[in-house]
């Protein structure tokens, strides 16, 4: 569902607010007969409700301490369930749809020359476009560097359960045989943050609260799971397990070269 409304916020002036909600998000593998009718189906991906909130300031020049567009994404659960055949099927689909086969028909020398020429041409066009956008934004804001876009996305639980053997594709949405569980991988509280400014600089950050790996081959009882990876008991349970960031700053009068920094 998509809902759009306008709010007269005393601190942010007039705001256009869009709420997006997606329910019953599923991905499944199916087996077809000669008439393309479904003979069997197994669910590969189940998701909880996805909520997206988009706020856009209609008068950003009046509220310089707030980003022009802010996006908040919340997802409680994303759960993949894959057996051996499911994994092979997914990889085959990805390879067939996202692999460029046309390059095999072009001689290697001509392909490289054409690639470098187009790459240089594209870089020049992007640089000119970027400079034009930066100049327009700086002129509009009197040289001030303001925040234009802020995105915060959060998945509370991202899980992958692996199964031994093959999936049952003889009936529609057959339940998994839990006795064939192999392993379970969980990422708890995955956060992504992104900020963009009027001078085309931006900063992105990804944080993971916890990462768990369980061996489920011997038992399926939650009380006797063999945990293969977890944080050490001496580590603060509220601390982030992984933090990665990327920052970009364009060329400016104070910086002769663009800066790219990863941590």
Mean pLDDT, rounded, of the chain = 82
Q: What is the dihedral of CA 89, 90, 94, 95, to 10 degrees?
A: -40
For residue 221, the model assigns a pLDDT of 57
Find the radius of gyration of the CA atoms of the chain.
25
Closest alpha carbon to 247 in 199, 208, 205: 205
pLDDT band at residue 51 using 50, 70 and 90 as cut-offs? very high
For residue 115, the model assigns a pLDDT of 56
For residues 219-228, average pLDDT: 64
Q: What is the dihedral of CA 220, 221, 224, 229, to 10 degrees?
A: 50
For residue 46, the model assigns a pLDDT of 93
Q: Specify the higher pLDDT residue, 153 or 263.
A: 153
pLDDT tens string 151-207: 999 999 999 999 988 888 888 888 888 888 889 999 999 999 999 988 888 899 999
% of residues, the chain, pLDDT over 90: 32
For residue 120, the model assigns a pLDDT of 73
Q: Specify the higher pLDDT residue, 104 or 259.
A: 259
In this structure, are strands 13-22 and 259-262 parallel, antiparallel, or unpaired? unpaired
For residue 116, the model assigns a pLDDT of 60
For residue 174, the model assigns a pLDDT of 82
pLDDT tens string 107-134: 555 555 555 666 777 777 777 776 666 5
Q: Specify the higher pLDDT residue, 208 or 222.
A: 208
Handedness of CA 152, 157, 163, 166 (dihedral sign): negative
For residue 236, the model assigns a pLDDT of 85
Considering the entire predicted model, what is its pTM?
0.72
For residue 107, the model assigns a pLDDT of 53
90 vs 37, 69, 70, CA distance in Å?
20, 35, 34
Long-range contacts of 9-12 (CB under 8 A, 24+ apart): 11/63, 11/66, 12/55, 12/57, 12/63, 12/66
- b (16+ CB within 10 A) / e for 119-147: eeeeeeeeeeeeeeebeebeeebeeeebb
For residue 63, the model assigns a pLDDT of 79
Q: Specify the higher pLDDT residue, 25 or 107.
A: 25
For residue 121, the model assigns a pLDDT of 74
For residue 114, the model assigns a pLDDT of 57
For residues 38-53, average pLDDT: 92
CA angle, residues 78, 29, 153, in degrees to nearest 5: 20
Residue with tokens 């963009």: 196
pLDDT band at residue 58 using 50, 70 and 90 as cut-offs? confident
pLDDT of 99 > 90? The answer is: no
H or E segment at 113? helix 108-140
Q: What is the dihedral of CA 205, 208, 213, 219, to 10 degrees?
A: -140
Length of the chain: 263
pLDDT of 237 > 60? The answer is: yes
């Amino acid at each position: 569902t998509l809902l759009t409304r306008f709010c007269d916020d005393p601190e942010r002036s007039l705001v256009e607010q869009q709420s997006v909600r997606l329910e019953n998000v599923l991905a499944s593998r199916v087996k077809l007969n000669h008439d393309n009718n479904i003979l069997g189906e197994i669910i590969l991906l189940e998701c909880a409700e996805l909520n997206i909130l988009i706020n856009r300031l209609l008068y950003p020049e009046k509220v310089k301490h707030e980003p022009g567009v802010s996006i908040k994404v919340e997802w409680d659960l994303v759960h993949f369930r894959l057996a051996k055949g499911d994994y092979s099927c997914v990889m085959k689909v990805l390879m067939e749809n996202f692999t460029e086969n046309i390059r095999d028909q072009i001689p290697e020398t001509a392909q490289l020359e054409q690639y470098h020429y187009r790459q240089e041409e594209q870089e020049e066009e992007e640089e000119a476009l970027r400079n034009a956008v930066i100049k327009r934004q700086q002129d509009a804001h009197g040289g001030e560097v303001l925040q234009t876009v802020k995105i915060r996305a959060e998945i509370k639980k991202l899980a992958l359960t692996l199964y031994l053997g093959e999936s049952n594709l003889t009936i529609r949405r057959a339940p998994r045989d839990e006795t064939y569980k192999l392993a379970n991988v969980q990422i708890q509280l995955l956060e992504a943050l992104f900020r963009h400014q009027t001078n085309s600089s931006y900063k992105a950050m990804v944080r993971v609260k916890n990462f768990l790996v369980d061996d489920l081959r011997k038992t399926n009882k939650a009380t006797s799971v063999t945990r293969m990876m977890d944080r050490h008991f001496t580590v603060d349970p509220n601390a982030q397990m992984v933090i990665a960031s990327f920052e970009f700053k364009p060329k400016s009068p104070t910086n002769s070269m663009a800066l790219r920094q990863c941590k």
